[in-house]
């Protein structure tokens, strides 16, 4: 078992003919992901690394039975691509695109909720179920199958932690990057709930960062609902207040959203919090 994706997940790549889309389609195929279709308006009938290209997601789904979409689409076309995937009946949409305006995401999220579709991201690296499937851009070779669930607001920091785990022989059930934007599709709590219910996940690592209150809300959830141990790391202890640290969501405002506040909330919920990413491994072993 795993969460969200496994070896049977059938993926359609939106924007498959672009530079990043084509490159990462190859990497996903190499990993064993079932990339069954791609889309690129006007390029229907082409093939990219052997994957058939369609003009629309609807035609791609009809021909291939895809049930998961991943977007390699620039910000100004991304909301359109998400609506398209939703309308084509895709249940799980992975959005890697960064710099989508917040007001667009508010509308997108509200639409997805009404249609019952789940989005991961935006501005996220995707996810990987080691040995089975990866959707997105997480490097496949750093992850190994196992029983640790990983959930993170950051992209590359996720790789860092997964790499540290794997190099100590601790495999992962699924690693999920939820993205660093203020409005996203899947929250820490959503993923924690899935890990709690997944029989193959024994414990969970949660990687947060400054800004917002997602970590504090997750701490409350952990306290009330998680039986499996959770270990955390929070990035941004040295970040100056009032400045956005790269991610649109990573900002300390008027004393809220600080690393200290998040660490305290997590510790109060019985979560061990590491001083640096590599220390996580020592804490869980």
Partner 1 sequence: MNLHEYQAKRLFARHGVPIPQGDVAETPDEVRNLTRELGGKVAVKAQVLTGGRGKAGGIKLAGSPDEAEERAKEILGMDIKGYTVRKVLVDQQAPGIAQEIYLAVLIDRAQRLPMMMASAEGGVDIEEVAAKTPEKIFRVHIDPAVGLRSYQTTHLAAGMGLPPELWREFHRLATGLYDTFLANDASLTEINPLVITGENKLLALDGKMSVDDSALPRHPKLAEMRDTSEEPEAEQRARSFGLSYIKLEGNIGCMVNGAGLAMATMDIIKLFGGEPANFLDIGGGTETEGVTGALDIILSDPNVEAILINIFGGIVRCDEVARGIIAALDQVQTDVPMVVRLLGTNAEEGRAILAEAQMETATKLTEAAQKAVAAAEKTRQNR
Contacts of 110 (CB under 8 A, 6+ apart): none
Task: Considering only residues 50 through 89, tell me which ones interact with partner 1, judged by CB under 8 A.
Answer: 75-76
Given 11, 57, 66, 100, the residue binding partner 1 (CB under 8 A): 100
Q: Which x/- pattern over 10-49 shows residues binding partner 1 (rule: CB under 8 A)?
A: ----------x---x--x----------------------
Three-state DSSP class for residue 71: strand
User: Mind telling me the catalytic residues?
Assistant: 247
Given 56, 203, 213, 272, the residue binding partner 1 (CB under 8 A): 213
Residue closer to partner 1 by CB (options 58, 109) is 109
From CA 204, how far away is CA 200, in angstroms rounded? Answer: 11
For the stretch 57-80, what's the b/e string if a residue is b when 16 or more beta carbons lie within 10 angstroms of its beta carbon?
Answer: bbebbeebebbbbbbbbeeebbbe
In whole angstroms, the minimum distance from the beta carbon of 139 to partner 1 comes to 4
Interface region with partner 1, contact rule CB under 8 A, candidates 2-10, 53-61, 107-115, 222-230 = 107-115
Residue closer to partner 1 by CB (options 30, 91) is 30
Residues in the chain: 285
Q: Residues touching partner 1: how many (CB under 8 A)?
A: 64
In whole angstroms, the minimum distance from the beta carbon of 66 to partner 1 comes to 22
**137: contact with partner 1 by CB under 8 A:** yes
Give residues in contact with partner 1 (CB under 8 A). Answer: 20, 24, 27, 75-76, 96, 98-104, 106-107, 109-110, 125, 137-139, 142, 152-160, 163-164, 180, 182-183, 207, 209-210, 212-214, 217, 233, 235-240, 243-250, 254-255, 275-278
């Amino acid at each position: 078992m795993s969460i969200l994706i496994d070896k049977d997940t059938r993926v359609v790549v939106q924007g498959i003919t672009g530079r990043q889309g084509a490159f990462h389609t190859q990497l996903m195929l190499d990993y064993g992901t079932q990339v069954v279709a791609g889309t690129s308006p006007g390029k229907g009938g082409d093939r990219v690394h052997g994957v058939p290209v369609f003009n629309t997601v609807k035609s791609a789904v009809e021909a291939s039975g895809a049930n998961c979409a991943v977007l390699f689409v620039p910000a100004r076309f991304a909301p359109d691509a998400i609506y398209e995937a939703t309308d084509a009946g895709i249940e799980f949409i992975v959005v890697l695109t960064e710099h989508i305006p917040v007001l667009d995401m508010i509308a997108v999220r509200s639409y997805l909720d009404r249609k019952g579709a789940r989005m991961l991201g935006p501005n996220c690296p995707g996810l990987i179920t080691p040995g089975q499937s990866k959707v997105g851009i997480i490097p496949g070779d750093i992850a190994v199958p196992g029983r640790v669930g990983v959930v993170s607001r950051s992209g590359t920091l996720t790789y860092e932690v997964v790499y540290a785990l794997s190099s100590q022989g601790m495999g992962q059930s699924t690693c999920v990057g939820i993205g660093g934007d203020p409005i996203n599709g899947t929250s820490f709590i959503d993923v924690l709930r899935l890990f709690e219910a997944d029989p193959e996940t024994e414990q969970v690592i949660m990687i947060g960062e400054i800004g917002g209150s997602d970590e504090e809300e997750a701490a409350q959830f952990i306290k009330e609902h998680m039986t499996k141990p959770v270990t955390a790391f929070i990035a941004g202890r040295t970040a100056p207040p009032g400045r956005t640290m790269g991610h649109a969501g990573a900002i300390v405002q008027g004393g809220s959203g600080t690393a200290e506040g998040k660490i305290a909330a997590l510790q109060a919920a019985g979560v061990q919090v590491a001083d640096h990413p590599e220390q996580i491994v020592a804490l869980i072993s």
